[in-house]
Amino acid sequence: MAVTKTEPINGSTNKPSSSSVSMKSDLMSTLSLKSLKLKTKQQELLIRVSILCLVYVLAFITRLFSVLRYESMIHEFDPYFNYRTTLFLTEKGFYEFWNWFDSESWYPLGRIIGGTLYPGLMVTAAIMYWGLRFLRFAVHIREVCVLTAPFFASNTTLVAYFFGKEIWDTGAGLVAAVLIAICPGYISRSVAGSYDNEGVAIFALLLTFYLFVKAVNTGSLAWGLGSALGYFYMVSAWGGYVFIINLIPLYVLVLLITGRYSMRLYVAYNSMYVLGMLLAMQIRFVGFQHVQSGEHMAAMGVFFLMQGFYFLGWVKHLLGDKKKFEALLRIIVTCAVGVGAIALGVGTASGYISPWTGRFYSLLDPTYAKDHIPIIASVSEHQPTAWSSFMFDFHILLFLFPAGLYFCFKRLSDATIFIVMYGLTSMYFAGVMVRLILVATPAVCLISAIAVSATIKNLTTLLRTKSKVSQTGTTKGASGGKGSSKALPDQSQPFQRNGSYCIAFRCFLPAQGAHGNRVIFDDYREAYYWLRQNTPADAKVMSWWDYGYQITAMGNRTVIVDNNTWNNTHIATVGRAMSSYEDEAYEIMRSLDVNYVLVVFGGVTGYSSDDIKQVFVDGENWRWSIPFLPIETAKIVRFLVEYKLSYYRFGELVTEYGKPPGYDRARGVEIGNKDIKLEHLEEAFTTSNWIVRIYKIGGVSIALIYCLDQGSDFRNVQWIHVLDFVSSDNLSSHPTPPPSHTNTCFQQQKFKLDHIQQSCSNSTITAEGNKYYGECHEKSIRFLKPANKEASLGRETDSERWAPPPQGYALGCFWWAEIAFV
Amino acid sequence: MARSISMEAAGLTLAFLILILTISAASSTNQIQILNAERRIDLSSHIVKVFLTLKVENVMTAPASEIVLAFPPAQADHLALVKAQAAIGKKKKKSYVHLDVNPTELPDAPNGTKYFSISLLNPLSSGETATLEVLYILTHSLKPFPAEISQSESQLVYFRDSALILSPYHVKQQTTFLKTPSTKVESFTRVEPTKFAGRELKYGPYEDRPPYSFSPVTVHLENNSPFAVVEELLREVEISHWGNIQITEHYKLVHAGARHKGVFSRVEYQSRPSFSGTSSFKHLLASLPPRVHSVYYRDDIGNISSSHLRSDYRKSELEIEPRYPLFGGWKATFVIGYGLPLEDFLFESPDGKRYLNFSFGCPLAETVVDKLTIKVVLPEGSKDPSAAVPFPVEQHLETKYSYLDVVGRTVLVLEKKNVVPEHITPFQVYYTFKPIFMLAEPLMLASKGLMMQLSSDGSGSHDPLPGQPSMLSLNSSACPCSPN
C-alpha cells in the first residue's frame, strides 16, 4: 500500500496501474491456486472413495463365480456343517444352539455342538439374516450363508485400506485393498458358497491387527479396546486366533529388545491382552485355555514382562543410582525367571498347564504330523505347501513381497516392524501347511502394496524432477509410466482365474458331454436325497469320514464319523470295517448299529479321488488303523469290503467303448474280479453315474450293552445318555480338566471281535466339552488318538502312544496293478 | 293388494308342498326304473375312470326331478369326482347338458351306502325316458398284490367292484366293461355271462335285477402305469400388481404302487429297462400356462439339473426328472416355481373388483393329489377376498409377510382333498384394491427409516418359503388389471 501511495508522487501514471494489475493477477493466481488446491484435495478424496467403492464391489463380484455359473448353494464339506448349525440357530434360537447335543453325528457318541465349535460364523450369518428379515427382505438363510464370505471379503478390503494407510500411506492402502480383493489365495477361501470359518476369520484377523497397530501408534485405550473386541470376534470365529495371540507378544518382545518400548505399547498391549483374554474365555470351546494351555503362555509371559519392564523403569526413576539399580535388576531378573520357570514347571507337571498340542508341534516342525498324527497328515490341506501353490496363490505378489520388505526395513517404525513380523512368520507357516497360505495372504498383499506404492512414488518423483529440469513434455512419459506400473497388479487378474475358483466343488462335478454340452454329475446330491427320502429317519449311515458333514446336512441321517476328526478311534474303526473281509466288517458294522454303508466310486466316470483311493492309498497313512491287513498278498484286496462294495456288479458294465466290461476308468485297468458276491450287504441304491453306491446291512441290529465304570453291572443304557450324564456332570462341577475317568466301555456280547479287542476307551471330557481318549489296557488297539480337528488336538502327553504299530505293513500305491492282474 | 299377496303366498306354499311331495316321491325308489345301464371302467392308469350310461324311465305318475346314484362305502371314500350330463336331441343333433350332482341321504340306506343325486333339467313325467351319462373317478382303488415286488417283477393289482351296478332302482338290463392296461390278467371272478377278450373284460348283460343287487368281483391284473401320488401339494400364487404372478409349488411325491423290495440294481436298471423296474417312473410332465418365465425346479438341497421346458403360444410343458427313479414306496419332494405375466390372469370385473382367474388342480399329468392347498397371496392392501370355485373347497384367510411388507399380505387359502386331473378348471378370486397401495413398496424401499419404525410393530411371524425370488425385479411395464 505504501508503494502504491508513493508511486504517484514519482509522476508515472502507467506504472502503478500495471504493478497493481500484476499484484492483482498474483493475488488472483494465488487465490485460484488455492481454490485449485482445494479442488485437487477434493478430487483426491473423490477418487479415493470411488476407488474404494469399486474395490468393494470388485471383491464381491469376483467371488460370485460359482453362483453365476451353477447355483446358489453351499460347496465342499465343512461349510455344510456350518450351514446346518446356522439353520439350527435360526430355527431354534441361540440358547438351544448353545446347548445342542447333536445325536446325528458320531453315532453312538454324539457331539456337543455348542461346546465344540467356533460360533462366530453362525452367529454372524444369523444376525445378518435376522437383520434382513427385520427390514422385510424375505431372504432364505441359505442365501445369507452363501454370500457371507464374499461380503466379508469386501469388508476386508476396507480394513486393508486402513491398515495400509496406517503402516505406510493412503496409496499403499489403496493398492492393498485392490490386491486383497483379487488375490487368488484369498479368493479361493472366500468364494460364494464356501461358507467356512476362514471367510469371516480373515476379516477379523486383519481388523485385530489393524486396531492393534493403531493402538500402538496412538497409545489410545480406545483403539486397544477395539483390537480386544476384534480379537474376541476372531476367537469366536476361527481356531487361527492362536496365531494372533502368539504374534502380538512376539512383536512386543521384538520392540522391547530393539529398545522401542514406549508407554503407547504398554497401553496397547495390556488393554488388548487383558480384555481380549477375558472376552475370549466367554467362548465355550476356548474356555480357560488362555491361562492353561501352553500355546497361550507366551502372551501371558510377555504380559508379565511388560509389567516388570514398567516396574523397573519406575524403580530406576526412584533410585537414580545406576549401580544400585543394576544390582537390583540382577536380583529381580533371576528371581523372576526362577519363579516363572518353577510356575511353568509345576503347572505343566500338575497338568494345569497343558503342553503344546500336536497341531502346534506340526506347525513348528513340518515333519511332526507325518510321524505322529497321521490323520492330520492325511488331509490334503495340511500338507506342506508346494512351490507351485505359492505361485498360484500369490502370483506376482511373490516377487513384490521381498521388495516390500526392503521398503519396510528402509523406513522402520513400530507399524512396519509389525507388518514385517506378520509377513515373515505367516510366510513360514504358509510353507508348513497349505491352508495357512490364507493367513499369509493379507500380509503379502500389504507388503506388496507398500512395494508398489513406494516404487510408483519414487518413480513419479524421479520423473517430476526430471521434467522440471528438462522443462519438456516428459509428463506424458511419467503418466505413461504411472499407467503401466498401475497396470501391474491388474494384470494378475486374468491369470488367477485358473487356479483359485475351483477349490473342489465336491457336490457335483461338471463335465463335458458328448455333444459339447455341459453335463453335471449330480450324483452326490442324488444319493443324499435318496437317503433323506427313502430310508428310515433313524437310519445310521457309515461312510468314509469325508462325507459325514454332507450326509448329515443334505441326507439328514445319522453318521458314524464325520469331517470333524474328533475321535480317531471311531474313524479308525470305520476305516477298518471298510478294509476288512466282509464277515469281519459285518460284525463291526453291526456293533456300530449301522444300517447303510455309503461308498464313493469313480470307476465309471473316471473320478479318481474316490473311496478306493482314500481307504487303501491314503489309508497308508493310517496303517495303524488296519494293522491286520496282510497287504503283501494283494489277492486279499479283492475280498475286502471296500473293494467289493465299489466293484459289485461292475464287471457287467461296459464303461468305455472298445474296452472290456468292468474297465475302471479312474485307474485305467480292467478289474480282476468280476463276479463279486455279497453275503451280508445288499445294494440299496446306486446313483446314475455310479459315483455313490449305498448298501443296506441285512439282519437286525443288535443292542449294544454298555457298562458305566468297569466292574459295575451291565446296564442296557443308551450311549447318548451315558455321555450326556458324563458331560453335563463334568462340565458343571469340574471346570478344570477333571480326573473323572469314566470308563465307558462297550462290549459286544454276541460277537467276539478279536481284531477290535473290545475297544475300550478311557474317555475324559474336559471342561470345553472335548472328549479325549486316554489309554486302553493291555495290548489293545493302537488308535488311541483323539482329536478335535479345529482346535486342540488331544492333549497327549505321551507321544509314544501316537506311534504307529511296530509291524509296518507296506501298503504301497503299486497295489493297483496287482489288483488288476491277480 | 293384501289379499292378492296372501293368495300368492298360499300359492307358493302349495307349490312348495308339491315340490316336497315330488322329492319324497322321487326318493321312493320304485318310481324310476333303469331300462338299460352300461358301465365302462377304465383301469389303464392308477386313476380309475368309470363311464356310466343310464337310460331311465319314470314308471309312476308323479314327475321325477332327480335320479339317485348309489355307491358302496368303500368306493365312496375314494371317490374324487362325480359328473353327470344329459343327452338332448336325436342322434345327429345330439348335445350334452351338464347336470348338477350333490351328495344326498336316503332314509333306508343299506350297509352305509352313499348317495349322489342328479338333478334333472326338466322333471321326468310319467312314462318318459331320459339318457344320462355319468363320469366318476376313483383314486387309490387299485390295491397292489403282492404288496411288495422286487425290481424285476411287474406290478399286479386288485380291483374290486360289483358285477352288478349298485342302484336303488330296478335295473332291467345292464352290462359292465373293464378296460385293462395289458392283456395280462391273472384272475377274475366269473359272474356268468363273463367274457374276456383282448384288453376288455365284459360282465353281462344281466337282466331284471332288483334294487341293491350286488355281486362282488375281483380282478387281478397287471398295471405298470406310474402310480404317481402327490401326498401334499402346496401351490402359492403371489400376485404383484407390478406385472407378475409368481407361482411356487411344493410337491411331496410318492410312488403309491407296490413297494420296492430288496435290491435296487443300477446295472439292471440301465441295461434292461424293459424288464427291470417296469412299474417305476423317472419322468413327470407338468403342463404350465403359456408365456411362463423364470421356471425353476429344485428341492431342499439345491437345484435339480434334469428338467426341460418346451413352450409355445398355447401351452408350456415342463418335463421334470426327480433326482432318482421312483420305485414303489419311494418319495421325492421338490419345488417348482415360475412367473407369469399378470395381464393373462388378472382382470377387472364390472363392479370394480379385481379378480384372478387361475386354474385349480395339479399341473402334473396323471397324478392324484391327496391334499391340495392353494394359497392366493394378494397384494398388500387388498380387501374383501372371496373365491368362486366350481366344487366345494375349504377356505380360510392368513397373513403373510414378504418383501418390504408392513401390514402383511392377505392370503386366501383353499384346501381340497383327493384331487384328480379332471379338477383342473378355472377358479376366481375376487378382491378390492386401491391403486395407491401400489406405491407402498417403492416408498418402503425409499424411506428405510420410516420403514424400520413401521415394521417394528409388524415383526410377527413371517415365514416365506425358500427359493422365493425377489419381487423387486419385476417387469413394471405391463398394465395391471387390464382385461385381456
Residue whose entry in the numeric block shows the C-alpha cell 497349505: A434
Q: What are phi and psi of A564, to 5 degrees?
A: -75, 100
Residues in chain B: 484
Considering only CB atoms, A138 lies closest to which of B329, B332, B464, namely B464
Q: In what order do the strands lie in the sheet with B293-299?
A: B302-303, B293-299, B331-341, B244-255, B228-240, B368-377, B409-419, B394-400
**Per-residue pLDDT at B22 exceeds 90:** no
Residue B443, H or E segment: helix B440-446
**Per-residue pLDDT at A635 exceeds 80:** no
**Per-residue pLDDT at A509 exceeds 70:** no
Beta partners for residue A747, in sequence order: A705
Using an 8 Å CB-CB cutoff, list chain B residues near A684: 263-264
Using an 8 Å CB-CB cutoff, list chain A residues near B442: none
Calpha distance A702→A705 (Å, rounded): 9
Mean pLDDT of B106-134: 87
Share above pLDDT 70 across residues of chain A, in percent, rounded to a whole number: 69
Helices (H), A650-797: 719-733
Q: Do A687 and B270 touch (CB under 8 A)?
A: no
Nearest chain B residue to A524 by CA distance is B323
Least reliable range by pLDDT among A66-80, A578-592, A799-813, B61-75: A799-813
Considering only CB atoms, A520 lies closest to which of B271, B305, B462, namely B305
Least reliable range by pLDDT among A474-483, A630-639, B276-285: A474-483
Calpha distance B99→A411 (Å, rounded): 97
Q: Do A528 and B404 touch (CB under 8 A)?
A: no
pLDDT at site A226: 96
Q: Do A686 and B466 touch (CB under 8 A)?
A: no
**Per-residue pLDDT at A426 exceeds 80:** yes
Using an 8 Å CB-CB cutoff, list chain B residues near A685: 264, 266, 324
Mean pLDDT of A351-355: 77
CB-CB neighbours of A491 under 10 Å: 11
Least reliable range by pLDDT among A293-307, A744-758, B453-467: A744-758
Considering only CB atoms, A528 lies closest to which of B266, B301, B329, namely B301
Q: Do B403 and A137 touch (CB under 8 A)?
A: yes
CB-CB neighbours of B268 under 10 Å: 18
Using an 8 Å CB-CB cutoff, list chain A residues near B451: 135-136
CB B202 within 8 A of CB B176: yes
Instruction: Write the burial class of residue A431 (CB in 10 Å: 0-12 exposed, 13-18 middle, 19+ buried).
Output: middle
3-state SS, one letter per residue, for A428-452:
HHHHHCHHHHHHHHHHHHHHHHHHH
Q: What's the maximum distance between 2 C-alpha atoms anywhere in chain B?
A: 90
Residue whose entry in the numeric block shows the C-alpha cell 417387469: B475
Report which of residues A593 and A498 the model is more confident about: A593
Share above pLDDT 90 across residues of chain A, in percent, rounded to a whole number: 36
pLDDT digits (tens, 9 = 90+) for A74-117: 888 889 999 999 999 999 999 999 999 988 888 888 888 888 89
Mean pLDDT of A404-411: 94
The model scores a pTM over 0.80: no
pLDDT at site B64: 86
Nearest chain A residue to B441 by CA distance is A136
Considering only CB atoms, A653 lies closest to which of B267, B300, B403, namely B267
Q: Do A684 and B263 touch (CB under 8 A)?
A: yes
Using an 8 Å CB-CB cutoff, list chain B residues near A697: none
Among A620-634, A685-699, B7-21, B235-249, the range with the most confident prediction by mean pLDDT is B235-249
Q: Suggest the residue from B151, B238, B323 to mutate for an interface test with chain A (most A CBs closer than 10 A).
A: B323
Q: What is the residue type of B443? A: L
Q: In what order do the strands lie in the sheet with B354-359?
A: B346-348, B354-359, B426-432, B383-388
Beta partners for residue A213, in sequence order: none
Q: What are phi and psi of B275, to 5 degrees?
A: -110, -15
pLDDT at site A378: 65
Considering only CB atoms, B466 lies closest to which of A136, A140, A649, namely A140
Mean pLDDT of B68-95: 86
Beta partners for residue B357, in sequence order: B428
Q: Do B265 and A686 touch (CB under 8 A)?
A: yes
CB A496 within 8 A of CB A398: no
Mean pLDDT of A745-749: 31
CB-CB neighbours of B173 under 10 Å: 16
Calpha distance A143→A164 (Å, rounded): 32
Considering only CB atoms, B403 lies closest to which of A136, A534, A653, namely A136
Residue whose entry in the numeric block shows the C-alpha cell 392377505: B410
pLDDT digits (tens, 9 = 90+) for B74-87: 898 899 999 999 88
Calpha distance A256→A260 (Å, rounded): 6
Q: At what angle do helices A221-237 and A120-134 cross, to 10 degrees?
A: 100
Q: Do B330 and A525 touch (CB under 8 A)?
A: no
Q: Suggest the residue from A136, A143, A596 to mutate for an interface test with chain B (most B CBs closer than 10 A).
A: A136
pLDDT at site A386: 85
pLDDT at site A165: 95
How does DSSP assign B165-220, residue by residue?
PP-SSEEEEEEEEEE-SSS-EEEE---SSEEEETTEEEEEEEEEE-TT---EEEEE
A612 is written with which cell numbers? 478306493
Report which of residues A101 and A632 the model is more confident about: A101
Calpha distance B232→B229 (Å, rounded): 9
Considering only CB atoms, A525 lies closest to which of B302, B330, B462, namely B302
How far is the CA of A733 from the CAs of A724, A729, A736, B276, in angstroms? 14, 6, 9, 61
| Nearest CA among B189, B95, B77, B205 for reference residue B136 | B77
pLDDT at site A221: 94
Residue whose entry in the numeric block shows the C-alpha cell 491286520: A628
Nearest chain B residue to A137 by CA distance is B403
CB B219 within 8 A of CB B188: yes
Residue whose entry in the numeric block shows the C-alpha cell 493379507: A442
Calpha distance B277→A401 (Å, rounded): 63
| Shortest Cα distance, chain B CAs vs residue A715, angstroms | 35
Count of pairs with CB atoms under 8 A, one residue in A, one in B:
97
Q: What are phi and psi of B344, to 5 degrees?
A: -80, -20
**Per-residue pLDDT at A720 exceeds 80:** no
A249 is written with which cell numbers? 507378544
B318 is written with which cell numbers? 415342463
Using an 8 Å CB-CB cutoff, list chain B residues near A524: none
pLDDT at site A705: 33
Beta partners for residue B251, in sequence order: B233, B334
Using an 8 Å CB-CB cutoff, list chain A residues near B299: 529
pLDDT at site B403: 82
pLDDT at site A640: 76
Q: Suggest the residue from A73, A129, A143, A533 to mutate for an interface test with chain B (most B CBs closer than 10 A).
A: A533
Q: Do A138 and B452 touch (CB under 8 A)?
A: no
Kindly indicate the confidence band of residue B109, based on its pLDDT and cuts at 50, 70 and 90. confident
Considering only CB atoms, B402 lies closest to which of A135, A138, A533, namely A138
Calpha distance B420→B141 (Å, rounded): 13
Terminal C-alpha separation, chain A: 112
How does DSSP assign A251-300, residue by residue?
HHHHHHHTT---HHHHHHHHHHHHHHHHHHTTSTTTTTHHHHBGGGHHHH
Q: Is the peptide bond before B193 cis (omega within 30 degrees of 0)?
A: yes
**Per-residue pLDDT at B232 exceeds 80:** yes
Residue whose entry in the numeric block shows the C-alpha cell 476305516: A575
Q: Do B323 and A522 touch (CB under 8 A)?
A: yes
Averaged pLDDT score across all residues of chain A = 74
- At a CB cut-off of 8 Å and minimum separation 6, what does B168 contact? B29, B68, B70, B106, B115, B211, B212
Among A630-639, A707-716, A812-821, B248-257, the range with the most confident prediction by mean pLDDT is B248-257
CB A723 within 8 A of CB B302: no
Q: Do A135 and B448 touch (CB under 8 A)?
A: yes
CB-CB neighbours of A663 under 10 Å: 20
3 state DSSP class of B296: strand
Mean pLDDT of A61-76: 87
pLDDT at site A333: 84
Kindly indicate the confidence band of residue A637, based on its pLDDT and cuts at 50, 70 and 90. low
Residues in chain A: 822
| Shortest Cα distance, chain B CAs vs residue A761, angstroms | 37
Calpha distance B102→B180 (Å, rounded): 30
Mean pLDDT of A339-351: 86
Report which of residues A512 and A613 the model is more confident about: A613
Q: What's the distance, CA A633 to chain centroid?
A: 40
Using an 8 Å CB-CB cutoff, list chain B residues near A508: 305
CB B73 within 8 A of CB B64: no
Calpha distance A475→A480 (Å, rounded): 8
Q: Do A682 and B324 touch (CB under 8 A)?
A: no
| Nearest CA among A399, A402, A393 for reference residue A420 | A402
| Shortest Cα distance, chain A CAs vs residue B408, angstroms | 10
Kindly indicate the confidence band of residue A215, based on its pLDDT and cuts at 50, 70 and 90. very high
Q: At what angle do helices A414-432 and A397-410 cross, to 10 degrees?
A: 150
How does DSSP assign A109-123, residue by residue?
T-EETTTSS-THHHH
Q: At what angle do helices A197-218 and A437-470 cross, to 10 degrees?
A: 50
Mean pLDDT of B407-431: 93
**Per-residue pLDDT at A409 exceeds 80:** yes
Calpha distance A667→A670 (Å, rounded): 9
pLDDT at site A497: 34
How far is the CA of B274 from the CAs of A769, B153, B224, B260, B277, in angstroms? 56, 11, 11, 17, 8
Q: What ipTM describes this predicted complex? A: 0.83
- Which domains occur in chain B, in start order? 28-222 (2.60.40.1730), 228-438 (2.60.40.1730)
**Per-residue pLDDT at A246 exceeds 90:** yes
- Report the sign of the C-alpha dihedral through residues B421, B422, B424, B430, in that order: negative
**Per-residue pLDDT at A719 exceeds 80:** no
Considering only CB atoms, B332 lies closest to which of A70, A71, A533, namely A533
Using an 8 Å CB-CB cutoff, list chain A residues near B467: 140
**Per-residue pLDDT at A508 exceeds 50:** yes
